[in-house]
Structure formats: C-alpha cells, structure tokens
C-alpha cells in the first residue's frame, strides 16, 4: 500500500502530534472568532482555496476555510487540488491508492473515487504517486483535515498550470456525484511572490511595494471570487500572482459543478503583514476563499 510520508513537518508546521494539534486548534479558534458568519447561511460549503506556506505565515489564513468546513455536516471525501512547483509534473496527477501520513493521523485515499476519476478522465489525468513525493502544497493541509474531519478519506490531485484546468474540477465533481459521495474540494495556492528574492520588485521596497502586491493579488482574487476559472491561467501568466493556477482553476470548476455561483473572500494578508520586519520587501500574498451552494 503506497504511503506518502511528510517532507516539511518540523519546518512548515510542527512535527510532533501534541504541538501540531495545539497549533491547528489555535488557528481554528482565531479564525472562528473573526468570521463574519453571514456567508453561506442556509447553504453548504462545496470548496475552498487556501495557501500552503509555513503556518507561521499562512496558517491563520488557511484556517478561515477550515473553520467553515468544521461547521458542515460530516463529509466522506476531501479532494485536494495541489499546486505544482516542479517542471517534471506536466499533467494532472492522481495519488490513486494508499494513504498519507501526518503528525495527527493516517489519511486514507478514496480509491474508488480515484479509479472513477482516472476512468472518466482517461487522457486528461494520470495515476502518478511520484508527482506528490517532493511537493508540499497538499501536505500542509492534512493536519487541519485530520483534526476537523478525521472520518474523511482524501483524493490528492496535483494540477500543473494549464488553461483548461477548470474542466478537471468539473470532471471530479461529476465522479463524486456518480458515487454518491458527500464531498468538498480544497485547492491551494500562494499569491504574488514579490521582492528581489523572487525577481519581481517593480515598486521597490517599503509602502509602495506593499500597495503593489495588494493590487496585483486583487486581480486574481477577483477572478476567484467571480469564479472565472477559465481566465486564471492567462491572468497568472501575465501578472505572476499565483503559484497554483491549475489548482485554483480546478477548484473553481469543481465548485461550479457543485452549484456554487460566487466565492467569498474570507481572509487576505501578506507575509510582511504577518511578520513586519523592516520595510516591505520580499513577501508573499495569501488568500482564503470559500464557495457555497444552496
């Protein structure tokens, strides 16, 4: 049985069970205390978009999505659309069997759903566990899921940047329905990587840089909220404002197929605003978006 072990535990989030659980619960409590509470009333959460940086910077932002998920009825499966940071992953890649380990639990893969997705998406998706072995974007979400919905299985899918990734999300949603699963999709991306370290500093450093990253992130966040999944790739290619364009587009496609018509921006920040050391310079944007359906 394939087992995917953690690769960034102890770096991006705590490696030990007690410390990891404390940090998850602290982030969820803080996110819950700041929720507006009005969005999604009378509906059900079908999808969300979260960041995947170290929890010290983006854990609270991600928790704004997971806090909403915690309030939902129990679910069967969480589809995880992961960002791809490796050039060798060129097709949507399914981790189709086995389990993933995190400090809080082992999370089993929904193998029946994986089989159906690969069958229906033959030629569009591939079965490739190796695509996930050195990729952290899905891994950092797992302790949240192990804490809030320990009964759920997962379906990890790494989605590289591609123009029609929204169709992947739609296909997965159809397979979820065909198997009668109660499911939700979580996609992951960080936003603009700004500063000399990232080779992108048109506004220099300081307050002007912070305003620039806010404006650049707002462009892609607007598309997320308006569910313009087909426009994500071109936007990101032009403005370098997301590292997980494929994962975002797939999540929007899934949400639309499940009946969502608009997203809700639950939280936004940058690494500089989380940890403001010196003038704003090298920094990354983070957003949490939630999708509801009636």
4: CB partners within 8 A, 6+ apart: 95, 98, 99, 100, 101, 129, 132, 133, 139, 156
Rounded distance between C-alpha atoms, residue 26 and residue 32, angstroms: 10
Sorting pLDDT into bands at 50, 70 and 90, what band is 40?
low
- Give me the helix-helix angle, 111-120 and 165-178, nearest 10°: 130
Written as six digits, the tokens of 95 are 């981790």
Is 50 exceeded by the pLDDT of residue 6? yes
What is this structure's pTM?
Answer: 0.97
- Structural domains in the chain plus CATH codes: 10-34+43-293 (3.40.830.10)
Q: Which residue has the tokens 């997203």?
A: 263
* Average pLDDT in the chain: 96
Tens-place pLDDT, residues 185-195 = 999 999 999 99
Instruction: Confirm if 192 and 209 have CB atoms less than 8 A apart.
Output: no
Written as six digits, the tokens of 73 are 């009825």
Is 60 exceeded by the pLDDT of residue 20? yes
């Amino acid at each position: 049985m394939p087992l995917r072990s953690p690769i960034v535990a102890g770096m991006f989030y705590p490696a030990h069970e007690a410390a990891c659980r404390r940090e998850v619960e602290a982030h969820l409590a803080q996110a819950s205390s700041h929720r507006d509470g009005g969005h999604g009333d009378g509906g059900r959460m079908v999808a969300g978009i979260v960041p995947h940086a170290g929890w010290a910077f983006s854990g609270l932002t991600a928790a704004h999505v997971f806090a909403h998920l915690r309030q939902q009825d129990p679910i069967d499966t969480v589809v995880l659309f992961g960002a791809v940071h490796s050039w060798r992953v060129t097709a949507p890649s399914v981790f189709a069997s086995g389990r993933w380990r995190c400090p809080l639990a082992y999370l089993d893969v929904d193998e029946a759903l994986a089989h159906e997705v690969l069958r229906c998406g033959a030629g569009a998706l591939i079965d490739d566990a190796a695509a996930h072995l050195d990729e952290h974007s899905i891994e950092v979400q797992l302790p949240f899921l192990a804490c809030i919905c320990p009964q759920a299985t997962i379906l990890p899918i790494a989605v590289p940047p591609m123009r029609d990734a929204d169709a992947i999300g739609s296909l997965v949603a159809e397979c979820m329905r065909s198997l009668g699963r109660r499911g939700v999709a979580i996609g992951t991306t960080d936003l603009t990587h700004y500063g000399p370290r990232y080779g992108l500093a048109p506004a220099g450093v300081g307050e002007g840089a912070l305003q620039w990253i806010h404006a650049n992130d707002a462009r892609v966040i607007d598309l997320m909220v308006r569910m313009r999944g087909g426009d994500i790739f071109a936007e990101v290619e032009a403005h370098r404002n997301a590292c997980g364009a494929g994962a975002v587009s797939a999540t929007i496609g899934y949400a639309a197929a499940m009946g969502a018509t608009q997203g809700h921006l639950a939280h936004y920040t940058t690494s500089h605003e989380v940890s403001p050391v010196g003038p704003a310079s090298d920094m990354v944007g983070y957003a949490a978006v939630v999708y509801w359906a009636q």
